[in-house]
């Protein structure tokens, strides 16, 4: 549910806490669970897009230059992108050390 | 013989409009026929003693083409409740019935049914819980689901059981909450009683077709059963809790409507000879009929005793209860289930808790009696009244006593 948009009063919940709107999980900020953040080294990146393919949360999108950029609003920091990167262009860095 | 008898009765004393047809039926069969009258769409059940006759008869009605419903012969009670949840979520009127281990097997789904706000109706033919294995009657099965968020009613006799089934659909679909109607296994389920059914026309008036605002429909997709993260779980539960509390008015109104249609009056807390009573017993279910005889017996001997019975158990009718106790000095609460390690039986705990919020503070003693179908006779009830009188004179409250246990 849209916790990023502040708390919802119990009075405004649909009966049975059903969700009437399709695809509203985009509002849900999953990124605040993250302990490690993927940091991309553009020097090493070959724009192969494997990070985009493997990301379980579909966080990656292509920018104008062709690089795949991680959307930190959703990224949970699982590290799958870093593990699958054939050039080790992605490093997982502790949030506190970014 | 009936005709001869009818000739002997002067017609003038019988008001023609009040002649109603009573049919002798086994209560289980009567319940099944009432469910059929409610025009259920889906029945999903697994047979278990002593509920079997209810679901068998429904299966028969469907098989014979007398009832246009889907009968799902599931592989377990867990599946029975799951199928009810699925069917109800699509807006179908659903029914299931179970007892004892069956109820425990569907336990996790009971909470889901109420949290999803699905108007499922279930009849529980109350039976004790294993081990030791027992098929006989007490309330230990239903008491385990008292926190599951279901509207819960208890019948005293067959007529009331049938009437509570009609009432259950009326209430469930207005409150959008599941309803459990409890009948004592064997004592009610297997007894033959003269039953007065509602005419189909009245049933249709009382229970109009189910129209759910939100239901599973591919044309208008919704999500049910989404995750409740810590930020929203509390709010979801609060909303559910308020819905159950708010169902109280719906329950009362549905009984009032029922009275208008049938002349049969029901209230959340039933009282018997409570006016000027100084000592009262509280019991639920069919044993109240036996207890009433004990009340009469003691009243004839000048004892000011009365009886209370919770017909509505959830939501707990606090105000009705406090009003019903009048000015009693002592209450003996008879529980038909043990809450192991607690300060009393489930009803005893509830009653003490209710009184703590009140200025009225009668002495409360708690008995556990009639476990696994052990008889509680009129003599036993007289003894329980005597014990309550005794407790009134004692200083200390005891937590509970298992009545009649062999030492």
Looking at the complex, does the CB of residue A98 fall below 8 Å from at least one CB of chain B? Answer: no
Q: pTM here?
A: 0.90
- Indicate the residue of B221, B223, B239 with minimum beta-carbon distance to A13: B239
Kindly determine whether residue B176 and residue A16, on different chains, have CB atoms separated by under 8 Å: yes
Q: What is the mean pLDDT of residues B203-215?
A: 96
* B158 neighbors B191 (Cβ within 8 angstroms): yes
Band of residue B7 on the pLDDT scale cut at 50, 70, 90:
low
Detail the DSSP E strand segments found in B141-242. 151-154, 179-184, 192-195
- Indicate the residue of B117, B238, B242 with minimum beta-carbon distance to A16: B117
- Domain locations along chain A: 30-97
Fold (topology level) of A30-97: Alpha-Beta Plaits (3.30.70)
Residue of B nearest to A25 (CA): B226
Q: Domains in chain B, ordered, with CATH? A: 17-262 (3.40.50.970), 269-402 (3.40.50.920)
| pLDDT tens-digit readout, B368-377 | 999 999 999 9
Q: Is the dihedral of CA B86, B53, B336, B78 positive or negative?
A: negative
CA angle B81–A16–A1, rounded 5-degree value:
125
Looking at the complex, does the CB of residue A9 fall below 8 Å from at least one CB of chain B? Answer: yes
| Predicted pLDDT at B97 | 98
Task: Identify from A3, A18, A76 which residue to disrupt to test chain B contact, counting B C-beta atoms within 10 A and taking the largest count.
Answer: A18
**Distances, alpha carbon B321 to alpha carbons A47, B244, B270, B352, B397, in Å:** 73, 18, 9, 12, 21
Which of chain A's residues have a Cβ under 8 Å away from the Cβ of B229?
1, 3
- Indicate the residue of A8, A10, A19 with minimum beta-carbon distance to B223: A19
| pLDDT tens-digit readout, B180-208 | 999 999 999 999 999 999 999 999 999 99
| pLDDT tens-digit readout, B52-75 | 999 999 999 999 999 999 999 999
Which of chain A's residues have a Cβ under 8 Å away from the Cβ of B223?
18-19, 22
Band of residue B20 on the pLDDT scale cut at 50, 70, 90:
confident
Distance of alpha carbon B277 from alpha carbon B391, whole angstroms: 16
Kindly determine whether residue B239 and residue A17, on different chains, have CB atoms separated by under 8 Å: yes
């Amino acid at each position: 549910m849209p916790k990023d948009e502040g708390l919802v009063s119990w009075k405004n919940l649909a009966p049975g806490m059903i969700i009437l709107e399709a695809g509203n999980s985009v509002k849900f900020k999953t990124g605040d669970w993250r302990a490690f953040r993927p940091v991309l080294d553009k020097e090493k990146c070959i724009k192969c897009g494997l990070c985009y393919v493997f990301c379980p949360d579909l966080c990656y999108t292509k920018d104008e230059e062709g690089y795949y950029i991680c959307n930190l609003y959703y990224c949970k920091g699982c590290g799958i992108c870093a593990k699958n990167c054939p050039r080790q262009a992605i490093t997982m860095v502790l949030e506190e050390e970014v | 013989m009936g005709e001869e008898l009818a000739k002997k009765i002067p017609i003038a004393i019988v008001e023609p409009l009040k002649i109603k047809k009573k049919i002798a039926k086994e209560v289980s069969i009567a319940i099944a026929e009432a469910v059929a009258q409610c025009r259920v769409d889906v029945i999903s059940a697994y047979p278990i003693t002593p509920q079997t006759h209810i679901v068998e008869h429904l299966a028969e009605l469907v098989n014979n083409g007398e009832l246009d419903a889907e009968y799902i012969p599931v592989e377990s009670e867990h599946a029975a409740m799951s199928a009810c949840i699925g069917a109800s979520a699509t807006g179908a009127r659903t029914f299931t019935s179970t007892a004892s281990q069956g109820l425990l097997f569907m336990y996790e789904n009971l909470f889901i049914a109420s949290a999803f706000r699905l108007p499922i109706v279930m009849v529980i033919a109350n039976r004790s819980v294993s081990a030791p294995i027992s098929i006989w009657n007490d309330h230990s099965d239903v008491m385990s689901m008292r926190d599951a968020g279901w509207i819960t009613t208890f019948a005293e006799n067959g007529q009331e059981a049938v009437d509570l089934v009609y009432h259950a659909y009326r209430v469930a679909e207005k409150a959008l909450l599941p309803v459990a109607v409890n009948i004592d296994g064997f004592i009610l389920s297997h007894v033959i009683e003269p039953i007065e059914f509602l005419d189909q026309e009245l049933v249709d008036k009382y229970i109009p077709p189910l129209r759910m605002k939100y239901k599973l429909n591919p044309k208008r997709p919704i999500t049910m059963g989404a995750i409740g993260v810590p930020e929203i779980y509390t709010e979801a539960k609060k909303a559910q809790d308020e819905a159950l509390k708010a169902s109280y008015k719906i329950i009362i109104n549905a009984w009032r409507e029922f009275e208008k249609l049938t002349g049969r009056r029901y209230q959340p807390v039933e009282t018997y000879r409570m006016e000027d009573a100084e000592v009262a017993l509280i019991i639920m279910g069919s044993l109240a009929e036996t207890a009433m005889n004990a009340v009469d017996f003691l009243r004839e001997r000048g004892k000011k005793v009365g009886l209370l019975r919770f017909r509505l158990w959830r939501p707990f009718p606090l105000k009705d209860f406090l009003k019903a106790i009048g000015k009693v000095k002592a209450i003996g609460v008879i529980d038909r289930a043990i809450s192991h390690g607690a300060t009393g039986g489930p009803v005893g705990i509830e009653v003490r808790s209710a009184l703590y919020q009140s200025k009225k503070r009668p002495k409360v003693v708690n008995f556990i009696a009639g476990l696994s179908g052990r008889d509680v006779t009129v003599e036993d009830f007289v003894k329980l009244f005597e014990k309550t009188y005794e407790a009134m004179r004692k200083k200390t409250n005891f937590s509970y006593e298992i009545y009649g246990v062999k030492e």
